[in-house]
């Protein structure tokens, strides 16, 4: 058996990839959205009721589809990351990274010694339960590390974070960033938007792939036009609630 190629990592920076965040914790729901044509679906454990068995079921559902799974750990924590990687995740989005040291620590959690501190298991789901020959020598090539910048401190250290070896892409989180800049709940505030524009321009100047999440179609289109590498255009909850309230609104007007 061969190690699965990380197509998201292969395409990162070479073509734009449009995705969504899956937050409801159900494999069937994730499978439905996975069949809709997104390039990637992020399985969230930071702000969602997803636990390890839920992640495995959702990754199994997505494995049969032409869509890449990304997992966001609840925190940049060595034990959490070890378990998620052993479960089979290949691309991780680390939340709340504020400086180069934190980014380097995140990378180290995804690498085996001597290049990192990931705990060793050759019989995990990621290693096809021991059926992939030479797994330990191949796995790092298929691991993709994305770090999430979501504070003013993180923006200040953006270039240093992007330069950390092993960081494959930098995601700018508008919700927490707006709070950090004093505009809680208002990611469209001009100061927040200016900070986002500046961050993406700085990442573009370095040639570092960038990412973003919004639930507004116009905002997603703007970031795609800006050249952001991977854009989250919705969440499962935003798709469901927007469609439902729109339907009810139309019916009640008749």
CA-wise closest residue to 196 among 165, 219, 216, 215:
219
DSSP H or E segment with residue 98: none
State the Cα–Cα distance between residues 163 and 8, nearest whole angstrom. Answer: 20
CA-wise closest residue to 44 among 79, 96, 98, 92:
92
Cβ atoms of 199 and 149 within 8 Å: the answer is yes
Please state, in angstroms and as integers, the Cα–Cα distance from residue 152 to each residue in 99, 101, 119, 131, 214, following that order: 11, 16, 33, 45, 19
Torsions phi, psi for 28 (to 5 deg): -70, -45
DSSP H or E segment with residue 232: strand 230-235
Beta bridge partners of 169: 146
The one catalytic residue among 14, 47, 115, 183: 47
Cβ atoms of 18 and 33 within 8 Å: the answer is no
47 is catalytic: yes
Which pair of structure tokens corresponds to residue 58? 């959702």
- Report, as residue numbers or ranges, the catalytic residues: 47
């Amino acid at each position: 058996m061969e190690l699965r190629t990380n197509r998201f990592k292969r395409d990162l920076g070479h073509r734009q990839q449009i995705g969504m965040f899956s937050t409801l914790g159900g494999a069937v729901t994730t499978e439905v959205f996975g069949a809709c044509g997104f390039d990637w679906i992020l399985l969230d454990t930071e702000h969602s009721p997803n636990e390890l068995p839920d992640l495995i079921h959702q990754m199994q559902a997505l494995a049969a589809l032409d869509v890449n799974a990304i997992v966001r750990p609840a925190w940049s924590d060595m034990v959490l990351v070890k378990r998620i990687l052993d479960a089979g995740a290949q691309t991780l989005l680390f939340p709340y990274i504020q400086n180069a040291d934190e980014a380097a620590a995140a990378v180290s959690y995804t690498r085996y010694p001597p290049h990192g501190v990931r705990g060793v298991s050759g019989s995990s789901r990621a290693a096809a339960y021991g059926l992939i020959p030479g797994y330990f020598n191949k796995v790092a090539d298929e691991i993709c590390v994305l770090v999430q910048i979501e504070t003013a401190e993180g923006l200040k250290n953006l270039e240093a974070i992007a330069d950390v070896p092993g960081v494959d892409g930098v995601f700018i989180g508008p919700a927490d960033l707006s709070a950090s800049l004093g505009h809680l709940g208002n990611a469209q505030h001009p100061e927040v938007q200016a900070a986002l524009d500046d961050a993406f321009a700085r990442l573009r100047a370095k040639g570092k792939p960038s990412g973003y999440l919004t639930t507004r179609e116009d905002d997603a289109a703007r970031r795609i036009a800006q050249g952001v590498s991977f854009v989250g255009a919705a969440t499962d909850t935003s798709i469901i609630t927007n469609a439902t309230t729109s339907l009810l609104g139309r019916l009640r007007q008749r």
